[in-house]
Amino acid sequence: MVLRLEEIVVGARVSGLGPHGPATVKSVHWLGSDRIEVVYRDDKGLDERILTRSEERLLSAASATRPFALDANAEDFRLAAEARRIRLAHLFDPYLALATSAIEPLPHQITAVYDEMLPRQPLRFLLADDPGAGKTVMAGLLIRELVLRGDLQRCLIVAPGALVEQWQDELEEKFDLGFTILTRDMINASGGANPFAAHDHLILRLDMASRSEELQQKIGAAPDFDLIICDEAHRMSARYFGNEAKFTRRFRLGQFLGGQTRNLLLMTATPHNGKDEDFQLFLSLLDADRFEGRFREGMRGANPGDLMRRLVKEELYRFDGRPLFPERRATTVSYRLSPDEAELYTLVTDYVRRQMNRADAIGEGDGRRRTTVGFALQILQRRLASSPRAIWQSLKKRKERLQTRLDEERLRNRDGAPAELNPALSVPDDFDDLEDLSGQEREAMEQDALDGASSARTLAELEVEIASLKTLEDHARQVSQSGDDAKWTELASILDRPPVHDPVSGRQKKILIFTEPRDTLDYLQEKITARLGDPKAVVVIHGGVPRQHRRAAVAAFNDDPDVRVLIANDAAGEGVNLQRGAHLMGIIRKSAIACSVNRKIASINFNTCDLYTIKCRPNRQHPDYLASSALQTPNFPTTNHRL
The pTM (predicted TM-score) of the whole model is 0.69
* Residue 638 backbone zone (phi > 0: left; psi -120 to 50: alpha; other: beta): beta
Domain ranges (residues) in the chain: 5-61, 94-315, 329-334+485-632, 339-482
At 476 the pLDDT is 92
Task: Please indicate whether the domains covering 5-61 and 94-315 agree at the CATH topology level.
Answer: no
Q: Which residues contact 18 (CB under 8 A, 6 or more apart)?
A: 40, 42, 44, 47, 49
- 596 φ, ψ (degrees, to nearest 5): -75, -25
CATH for the 5-61 domain, from 2.40.50, 1.10.1510, 1.10.4160, 2.40.10:
2.40.10
Residue type, 512: L
- Distance of alpha carbon 242 from its chain centroid, rounded? 29
At 583 the pLDDT is 61
Most confident of 207-216, 408-417, 602-611: 207-216
Q: Is the pLDDT of residue 629 over 50?
A: no
CATH number of 94-315: 3.40.50.10810
Q: Is the pLDDT of residue 620 over 60?
A: no
Q: What is the mean pLDDT of residues 83-112?
A: 89
CA 201 – CA 222 distance, rounded (Å): 13
Q: Is the pLDDT of residue 171 over 60?
A: yes
CA 571 – CA 236 distance, rounded (Å): 18
Structure-model confidence comparison of residues 422 and 259, the more confident one: 259
Residue of 289, 465, 488 whose CA lies nearest to 380: 465
pLDDT digits (tens, 9 = 90+) for 434-491: 554 555 666 666 666 665 667 677 788 888 888 998 999 999 999 999 888 899 998 9
639 band by pLDDT with thresholds 50, 70 and 90: very low
Structure-model confidence comparison of residues 372 and 287, the more confident one: 287
Q: What is the mean pLDDT of residues 73-99?
A: 87
Residue of 61, 72, 24 whose CA lies nearest to 44: 24
What's the mean pLDDT when you consider all of the chain? 80
CA 410 – CA 404 distance, rounded (Å): 10
SS3 584: strand
Instruction: Give the helix/strand (H/E) hosting 187.
Output: helix 184-189
CATH match of 329-334+485-632 with 3.60.15.10: no
What is the full DSSP assignment across 352-385?
Answer: HHHHHHHHHHS-GGGHHHHHHHHHHHHHHHHHHH
- The three-point CA angle 144-145-146 to 5° equals 90
Q: Is the pLDDT of residue 67 over 90?
A: no
